[in-house]
Amino acid sequence: LEALDRQTGLEGTVVTVASLSDFGTTPAEFETFATGLFNAWGVGHPARNDGFLVLLAVHDHLCRIELGKGFGTRFNARMQAIVDQTMVPSFRSGDVARGITEGTIAIIESLTKPESWFARYPWHLCAGAAIVLCLVAGISCLRSGRTGWGYAFFSAAAILLWFLLRSLGKAQSNSGNRKGFGGGRSSGRGGASGNW
């Protein structure tokens, strides 16, 4: 994690606790506890609001990847896959160290890998394609009247566009150690949780 910070400027920390009850909280408040810890320690670069925290409550069988607000929610699916496919299976088999190590490595690879424009804006691309299809189909309808393939394509494209825009709206509405960390960073809705 120290090498990651030096080489990329990305700060990360891994925290293990025996039980949440040691801190006066409950498993139901696990995500809130993780967010509070992230914010209190100020994980991440202050201008970018990035950084990540891996939190493990061993006796409660809970784990959480908390991401800085700068990442938004676009990495949530990737983080959930890391929790479900890399961390939790190792924890279930009793190999906590392996789950933490491999999970942290997977997080680093996911967050530092260059992200393509297509991967970052999939809904926008789909909506753009549907708009183009609507325009082409609409022109075809104007030329041939309300009959023929143009009208059928226009209807299908309009339905697809409505579905994509509705889905996009729903998606947007849902959407080391502590030494050296400063204040002022904040976690948003980014991250993923799991249990075993």
Confidence of residue 37 (pLDDT cuts 50, 70, 90): very high
Lowest mean pLDDT among 52-61, 77-86, 173-182: 173-182
Interval 71-98: pLDDT, tens? 888 889 999 999 999 999 999 999 999 9
Report the share of the chain in percent with pLDDT over 90: 43
Strand order in the sheet with 52-57: 12-17, 52-57, 62-68, 187-195
CA dihedral (160, 76, 44, 41) in degrees, to 10, reads 130
What lies within 8 Å, CB to CB, of 158 at 6+ separation is: 134
Quote the CA–CA distance of 35 and 4 in Å, as a whole number.
Answer: 22
